[in-house]
Amino acid sequence: MALGPISIDMYLPAFPSLAGDLGVGIDRVQLTLGTFLVGLAAGQAFYGPLSDRYGRKAPLYVGLGLYVLAAVGCALANDVDALMAWRFLQAAGSCAGVVVARAMVRDRLQAHESARAFSSLMLVMGLAPILAPLIGGAILTAWGWRAIFWVMVAAGTAVLLLVHFRLEESLDRSRVVPLRLGQVFRNYGELLRDREFLGYSLCAGFAQSGMFAYIAGSPFVLIELNGIDPSHYGFVFGANAIGLIGMSQVNAALVRGRSLDRVLGLALFAPCLAGVMLAIAAIAGLAALPVLVAGFFLFIAGLGCINPNASALALAHQGHRAGTASALMGTLQFGLGTLAGVAVSVWHDGTAVPLGVVMATAGIGAVLMRAVGRGGQRLRESGAG
């Protein structure tokens, strides 16, 4: 599950070097991240029905094989357009892990137990933003940006071997869903009409889109505008990931004996407040480094409570099609992340305003979508939905 975040975060310190080496502006390099997010969003819809039909391991073989091949292509790319194409394929491969990991949790656990399990997964997901930029910065300094992608080749190969030799299949054969195109579309249509699933999925999606806006825009804002050394960028990034990890573990304790929706509602104040603060500071020209660092930390740390609970609530009643539901949830979430990342890149104006406004929109949107999901939950409990 961490392979996608590693692939996003490890090359972030190399943005300025990539721009100089390939002879393009940094806004074009930022679009390689947007391309990756498109691949993450689009690819998940493919793996979900496959995992419900053929089991959880088979899609991983396909996805991880594609990931390794595409990482080789990234390492050998000689222009930014080729890099974008290979990054799309790399993302399409890595997203198999995102879909399957969530589906395997739902195969074995119910809602509250799923929330605690997702909190544990957030620990793994949180380590990636800490380690990947630090490793990427060190590799960049020692061997250049291409070596970063060769490390991804090695990582993908290692995960593929671990999946083959150590991962156990979790899909109960009695829950196999036939792979018929009409049934696949019906399942997706039913999920899109399910207010509980859709609301909570988009709640996590809006919150996560703020993180992807931060990922896309923070290298420019921190390195170019505020003069942070590229090799030190990972320390700032890692501090935010520590907040994410810490809150995910706090969440595992909070959800014991408490309503998942109530904990989620309280946690949503963090990204909403942080996003609005960053937007106002950027527009007013007050986005100094301490303000940025505080806002980023508050926003990202809040995700440690939001993503596990919103994901558990979205999948709570989808055990009969966990792979398909996990895939659609991921597609919606990474689709919003793609839009946020692209918005920051396209709106690039040499200031922190685009990043602040997009993060504020994400925080407010998450609060509104939680209300939609909560309404759907109440309808289900009343027997009307």
Half-sphere exposure of 212 (CA within 13 A, CB side): 33
Gap between the Cα atoms of 358 and 372, Å rounded: 21
pLDDT at 266: 93
Which two three-digit tokens encode residue 151?
């490390």
90 vs 288: which has the higher pLDDT: 90
Most confident of 60-74, 90-104, 235-249: 60-74
pLDDT in tens, 148-185: 999 999 999 999 999 989 888 877 776 767 667 777 88
What's the total number of domains in the chain? 1
Residue 371 banded pLDDT, cuts 50, 70, 90: very high
Indicate whether 205 belongs to any domain. yes
Q: In this model, does residue 357 exceed pLDDT 60?
A: yes
pTM for the model stands at 0.76
Tell me, rounded to whole angstroms, the distance of Cα 49 from its chain centroid: 20
Closest by alpha carbon to 78, among 23, 133, 155?
Answer: 23
Q: In this model, does residue 229 exceed pLDDT 90?
A: no
Least confident residue range of 76-90, 102-116, 201-215, 315-329: 102-116
Q: CA-based diameter of the chain, in Å?
A: 62
CATH number of the CATH domain containing 67:
1.20.1250.20
Q: In this model, does residue 230 exceed pLDDT 90?
A: no
DSSP code per residue over 143-212: H-HHHHHHHHHHHHHHHHHHHHHHPPP---GGG-----HHHHHHHHHHHHH-HHHHHHHHHHHHHHHHHH
Q: In this model, does residue 383 exceed pLDDT 80?
A: no
Gap between the Cα atoms of 71 and 79, Å rounded: 15
Indicate whether 83 belongs to any domain. yes
Gap between the Cα atoms of 314 and 326, Å rounded: 9
Q: In this model, does residue 325 exceed pLDDT 70?
A: yes
Indicate whether 174 belongs to any domain. no
Indicate whether 216 belongs to any domain. yes
Could you tell me the residue range of the domain that residue 30 belongs to?
3-168+180-378
Contact 304, 247 (CB under 8 A): yes
User: How many CB atoms within 10 Å of residue 227?
Assistant: 8
pLDDT at 126: 66
113 vs 194: which has the higher pLDDT: 194
Indicate whether 144 belongs to any domain. yes
Indicate whether 173 belongs to any domain. no
Indicate whether 68 belongs to any domain. yes
pLDDT in tens, 251-272: 888 888 788 899 999 999 999 9
CA dihedral 253→256→260→264, nearest 10 degrees, is -20
Indicate whether 264 belongs to any domain. yes
